[in-house]
Amino acid sequence: MTLSEDERLFRDSVFEFADREIRPLVREMDEQATIPRRLIDALFDLGVMAVTIPEAHGGAGATFFHAVLAVEALSRVDPSVAVLVDVQNTLVANAIVRWGSDDLTARCLPRLAGGTVGAYALSEAGSGSDAFALAMRARDTADGFVLDGRKLWITNGNEAGLFIVFATVNPDAGYRGITAFIVEREAPGFTVGKKEDKLGIRASSTCELLFEDCRVPRANVLGEVGKGYKVAIETLNEGRIGIGAQMVGLAQGALDHAIQYTKERKQFGRAIADFQAVQFQLARAATDLEAARLMVYNAARLRDAGEPFVKQAAMCKLFSSEAAERVTSLAVNLYGGYGFVKDYPVEKFYRDAKIGQIYEGTSNLQLQTIAKQVLG
């Protein structure tokens, strides 16, 4: 929990940006289910779209922990904008830094640092939790690979210019056929399909991707052919720490509002925060949040230290997403009727919290990972 001065300044500057530039847009972005391009450009200018990209490639060259702090700070104001930043850093840039050839890193990283949004496409209609049952085919031909199939639920699909796409080169080989590819938005045979209309994180785009005889050069294989499962597992192990941070940030955002509101709202002649029952509810929520934040920071610090962190990453996402649901639900309750209407900010945090238990591995899948680690 102790931040270095550099970490604290970074977190505070991202929060100040969010408070000033994002907060006024939150309701409109939620209603219109979109993030304006000028805001995305401002995120690039701020440096939060390339936190961990090495300086040599135009990024900030900072730690994974810094990326986690950025996601948390943005989520306090808007978890949709935060997940755009989260996917860019913890999934897309992270995977390319780790597995990209010199050619791929030189081609992709400066673009990701300089204005191109990234997306990470693993899930399909028939394969979510069982991600390695994916059906999308990649045919190996004389002039590169040809992709055919569909992806579903792809965050940033609407805005992205660069996609990491998982497909199998050999369905009979099971997970050993899975290969990761970099696909450009302009690739022939690739189109972005329907955008989902969602319960929460509505401004974050979630899209179907369609591939029909989509040609991808051999040089765009990320990692090795048949080793895409490793890219997927290992990136998601890290990515879920970012989702933990999103949940901590949004729970903090809701709690900030609830504390302020309960001090102002008067019933029975006094502020409702004067009632001990309300104080205890707030105290429990603050404790939940503190525990969640500790778990997220610990997982991120372990990852940066090169220590094992898979169990802690799964635990932090499991716990923080459940804590976020509890804290945001309490915030709605403490606002009373005002908590149920869109003129006040807490109902949106409550809707946004739900996704934490679903994406980057549902809570049951986190439990499965934790159980495997605990049982050995």
Ligand X SMILES: Cc1cc2nc3c(=O)[nH]c(=O)nc-3n(C[C@H](O)[C@H](O)[C@H](O)COP(=O)(O)OP(=O)(O)OC[C@H]3O[C@@H](n4cnc5c(N)ncnc54)[C@H](O)[C@@H]3O)c2cc1C
Among 161, 362, 370, 373, binds ligand X (CB under 6 A): 362
Return the number of the residue (129 or 260) whose C-beta is nearest ligand X: 129
Q: How far is the CB of 127 from ligand X (least distance, A)?
A: 7
Spatial distance between the Cα atoms of 206 and 199, rounded to a whole number of angstroms: 12
Strand 221-222 relative to strand 178-184, pairing: antiparallel
Spatial distance between the Cα atoms of 214 and 278, rounded to a whole number of angstroms: 58
Site mask for ligand X (CB under 6 A), range 67-106, x = bound: --------------------x-------------------
Active site residue 360: yes
- In sign, the C-alpha dihedral spanning 57, 58, 64, 67 is negative
DSSP H helical ranges for the chain: 5-17, 26-32, 37-46, 64-75, 79-86, 94-99, 102-113, 228-264, 276-304, 310-334, 346-353, 363-375
DSSP H helical ranges for 169-309: 228-264, 276-304
Q: How far is the CB of 204 from ligand X (least distance, A)?
A: 7
Return the number of the residue (239 or 339) whose C-beta is nearest ligand X: 239
Give the closest residue to 185 by CA, choosing from 204, 206, 210: 210
Q: How far is the CB of 151 from ligand X (least distance, A)?
A: 7
The owner of tokens 């069982």 is 130
Q: Which residues partner with 137 through β-bridges?
A: 148, 168
Return the number of the residue (162 or 330) whose C-beta is nearest ligand X: 162
Among 191, 279, 287, 364, binds ligand X (CB under 6 A): 364
**How is residue 131 annotated by DSSP?**
G
Binding piece for ligand X, criterion CB under 6 A, among 97-105, 116-124, 142-150, 175-183: 116-124
- Cα angle at 39 between 8 and 121, to 5 degrees? 90
Q: How far is the CB of 198 from ligand X (least distance, A)?
A: 6
Return the number of the residue (285 or 310) whose C-beta is nearest ligand X: 310
The first and second tokens of residue 224, run together, are 């090795």
Among 29, 359, 366, 369, binds ligand X (CB under 6 A): 359
Element (H, E) at 270: strand 270-271
Catalytic annotation, pick one of 124, 208, 238, 360: 360
Among 355, 356, 366, 369, binds ligand X (CB under 6 A): 355
Residues between 163 and 222 with contacts to ligand X, criterion CB under 6 A: 198, 206
Residue 62, CA distances (Å) to 34, 70, 116, 275, 375 in order: 29, 11, 19, 45, 35
Site mask for ligand X (CB under 6 A), range 119-158, x = bound: -xxxx----xx-----------------------xxx---
Q: How far is the CB of 125 from ligand X (least distance, A)?
A: 8
Applying CB under 6 A, the site for ligand X has a residue count of 20
302 binds ligand X (CB under 6 A): no
Any residues with CB less than 8 A from the CB of 45 and at least 6 apart, and which? none
Give contact residues for ligand X (rule: CB under 6 A).
87, 120-123, 128-129, 153-155, 198, 206, 355, 358-362, 364-365
The catalytic residues are 360
